[in-house]
Each structure stands twice: as structure tokens, then as C-alpha cells.
Amino acid sequence: MLTSQSSSVAADRQTVLERLNRLIAAVARSNEFQRERLDGVFLDSVDDLRQIRPIDKDDLLRDQQAYPPFGRNLTYAAQQYVHLHQTSGTSGSTLRVLDTDEDWDWWRGCMHDVFAAAGVGPSDLVALAYSFGPYIQFWASYVGAGAVGANRIALGGMDSVQRLETIREYSASALVCTPSYAVRLAKVADQRGLSDALSSVRRIICTGEPGASLPVVRAQIEALWQARCFDHAGLSEVGPFGYPCAEGGGVHVNEREFVVEIVAPGSEDPVAAGEPGELILTAIGRTGFPAIRYRTGDVVECCETPCPAGHTDRWLPGGILGRTDDMAVIRGMNVFPSAIEQVLREFDEIGEFRITYYTEPTAMDEVKVEVELAQPTQGRAIQARLRTRLGLRVRIVPLKPGILPTPSGKTRRVIDMRQVPGRRLAAGRGSG
């Protein structure tokens, strides 16, 4: 058994290597942005990828600013591209991402694996609770659900009540949305007497926030909807790289289509097993707008123990823990917003929250969490539990419900006001 398994892994490695060399050759030939990094590169092993200098979103943004609107990260002539999406970048700038027909087929294949792993198939009707727009998530989910043979209803352009009525009318069996929206929609159903609209939904497939891989948030969604909740992960400029593990929770990186590295932030040094690090990905099957050794800014923690289902792809039980930008080292401890959220959600009647890192006049860095509480007295209990769980003093500021903005899309819940932001993440001292 062992021999046949390792020889099939070796064969997969060989296939990956051949595909990578074909990708690099095609990109180096005609992609001006990538040529400087890739010219003359030939890999003798997949590990040789590490010879190539990584790039990140800021590199792509700078290139698009210098060569507007699409930049030079294009392997083909403009007329070969048939999909144009946008993603928000730092400081409000917009990154444009283009796909050819062939690359979009690759997206579809990767999204097929997401929906298949969540158990969605031809007997399902999938309701997609995303607004229409230039963001890729709706369009990718739409083709992915179609790829497993499911029927689909788009709920863009509807308010929450209309969405619930539509789910009820068609007895939709699966819902695709962000985790915070899954919670919100269930609450709207309760407030508006539409709870029966939830009963046909068996599966909720989430992305866009860490929530669906946080055990407490997942349990909350599953209890509200009486349905299974799954996470998945992707980025417009990279591709849909993570599919859910139905048995173990969290996500696996799709290693047939992505080469994975997990490195200490700000370096290219691989982190030890079980330590948090930044995900660097290479999309093996995307040629038109390639992502080769791309620093995602996503922080993950890989589990070396096999998942209970025995999947061989790298397992991230916590999903995406957060963005490198949102993490901070406060008095020597890594602070993960997702770890704070996990503790907050253990309390009942928690509304929205906002995390602020700031510097006291004493020059000490501190963490403040503004949180909407039905009972302001809960603040003290939350503070105590955060202290026990994270080993860190966190100031809780209770707010009345409804003060903080209601989440939509990728909600940003972290503000960094420290005088010296300093290193974002310290290796090996995670609190999440």
C-alpha cells in the first residue's frame, strides 16, 4: 500500500513539475511583467521554484499604476481575455484581474472541487447570496456549483427578506455567502417571521472571512440553520486554492493545482509544522494572468497530522487565520483577530465588533475591542476569558447594538493605530 501510494505521489510530483515548466516557458516568452523573473528558468524539481523571487499584490498594483489600466502581467494579447474582475487593494486602490476562456475553465475546475468536497451535486439547488459586481466570488461560485451539476439561483439585487422568500419558494438546498451574512440572514428570518425559509437548506458554503473555520462561528451557523457549514478559500489574483474538509473542518490546499509554501512573514524561510506563516502560492494551471510564487498575505497554520478523512493535501484546520496586515505583535504575543473573534462568539448576544491596536502614552502597545453587547456587564467576563485564552490583556469597550456597521462582503474589523507598527507576526508565539 505504502509503495503504491508513494509512487503515485511521485507521479503527481512529476506531472506538477512538467506543468510548471510548460507554464514558466509560456509566461517567460510573452509576459513582460514576469519575464525578468522567469527568463531562462527551468526547474529540475518542484522545490527549484524557490529560486524565483516572490511577488505580492503591491507589485501587481504598482505595475497597473505604471501601465494602466491592466498592467503588463498578461501572457496573451488583449483580445484573448474574456473575464475582467476587480479586487480591492491596500489604500483603496483597485487591482484588475483578467482571465482567458482557458483560465476560466481552470477556475471552474477548482471550484468544482470546492462544491464536490462540500457534498453538493445534481440534486441541489444552490442560492448565491452575493451582490452582483466586479468581484469574482459570485461568478466563480456560480460556475463551480454548475460544474457539479447543481441548479443555481442568483440572489444579487435582492434585500435579505426577498432572498429568504426566494430560498423558501424554491426550497433551495444550499446557500453560498460570507459567514457573517449567514448569521445575519438567519437573524432576519427570525425577526421577520420567515424562519421556515431556513428549513430546506442543508449546506452553507462560506468564504471571504475566517468565520467558517472558527469552530464557534461554524457551530453558530449550523445551529441557526440546522445545516452543515463549509469553508473554502481563494483570491482573485491567484485562484480558488482551498476546498473544505467535510470531516475535519477547515480547508485543504488543492495541491493538484497549486504549489504551496508557508513562510515566516517578511522572509522566504519555511515555518516549522504547526506554526503560523504566510501562504505563498503558485497557480499551476493559470497562464493568462499568472500567479507564480505569489505572496498571498493570508496567514495559515498547517496541521501535520492527517485529517480524519485521510486527504493527502495540506490541511489548514483553522482555514485562513487572517491577513498579515491584520495581525500584530503586542508585547511579544501574536494577536490574531480570528482568535479574538472565536472568544467573542462564545458569548451570547454579541453583535458586531472592531479591533484596534494602539499605543498608550507610556509607549506600550495595547489592544482594544469595541463590541456590541445586549448586556454591557458581559464586558468583564469577555475580558477575563480573552486574558486566559490569549495570555493578553485586551480592553473591552461595550457598545449598544447597531452602532458598528453591518458587515457586507469582506468586512474589515481591524484598525492599526500604533505609533510604531513594528513586525506583524513573531514566529512561534502564536495566540491563535
For position 309 contacting Zn ion by CB under 5 A, the verdict is: yes
Q: How far is the CB of 254 from Zn ion (least distance, A)?
A: 12
Q: At closest approach, how far in Å is the CB of 316 from Zn ion?
A: 10
Q: CA 324 from chain center: how many Å? A: 12
Instruction: Please count the CA atoms within 13 angstroms of the CA of 33 that sit on its side-chain side.
Output: 25
DSSP string spanning 45-93? SGGGGGGSPPEEHHHHHHHHHHSTTT-S--SS-GGGEEEEEEEE-GGG-
Contact (CB, 8 A) for 300 and 60:
no
- Give the count of residues interacting with Zn ion (CB under 5 A): 5
CB of 205 to Zn ion, least distance (A): 16
Our separate counts of H helices and E strands in the chain read 10, 22
SS3 281: strand
Q: Which stretch binds Zn ion (CB under 5 A): 15-23, 186-194, 203-211, 306-314?
A: 306-314
Which cell numbers hold the place of 63? 505595475
Give whichever of 113 and 237 is closer to Zn ion, judged by the CB atom.
Answer: 113
Q: For the CB of residue 88, give the shortest distance to Zn ion in the complex, in Å.
A: 31
Give me the least distance between CB of 182 and Zn ion, in Å please: 22
309 or 417: CB nearest Zn ion: 309
CA distance 107 to 279: 19
Phi, psi of 156 (to 5 degrees): -65, 150
| For Zn ion, the closer CB: 125 or 245 | 245
Q: Which CB atom, from 8 or from 191, has the smaller least distance to Zn ion?
A: 8
Please name the residue that has the C-alpha cell 445545516. Answer: 227
Residue 179 CB, shortest distance to Zn ion, in Å, is: 19
Which segments of 208-293 are extended strands (E)?
A: 228-231, 233-235, 239-244, 251-253, 258-263, 276-283
Kindly tell me which of 253 and 307 has the beta carbon lying closer to Zn ion: 307
Q: Which of 248, 265 has the CB closer to Zn ion?
A: 248
Q: Residue 328: which of 416, 397, 429 has the closest Cα? A: 416
Q: Which residues contact 119 (CB under 8 A, 6 or more apart)?
A: 203, 228, 246
Q: Within 27-56, which residues bind Zn ion (CB under 5 A)?
A: none
CB of residue 398 to Zn ion, shortest distance in Å: 39
- Within a 10 A sphere around the Cβ of 391, how many other Cβ atoms? 12
| Among 13-21, 308-316, 326-334, 338-346, the segment contacting Zn ion (CB under 5 A) | 308-316
Contact 325, 424 (CB under 8 A): yes
- Classify residue 88 by burial, with Cβ atoms within 10 Å: 0-12, 13-18, 19+: middle
Stretch that binds Zn ion, among 70-78, 310-318, 361-369, 395-403 (CB under 5 A): 310-318
Q: Is 307 in the site for Zn ion (CB under 5 A)?
A: yes
If one asks whether residue 311 binds Zn ion (CB under 5 A), the answer comes out as yes
Provide, rounded to whole angstroms, the least separation between the CB of residue 117 and Zn ion: 8
Grid cell, residue 352, equals: 458586531
Tell me whether residue 278 or residue 313 sits nearer to Zn ion (CB atom): 313
Site for Zn ion in 208-247 (CB under 5 A): 245
Q: Which is nearer to Zn ion, 202 or 311 (CB)?
A: 311
Q: Residue 248 or 319: which CB sits closer to Zn ion?
A: 248
Smallest distance, Zn ion to C-beta of residue 14, A: 24
By CB under 5 A, name the binding residues for Zn ion.
Answer: 245, 248, 307, 309, 311
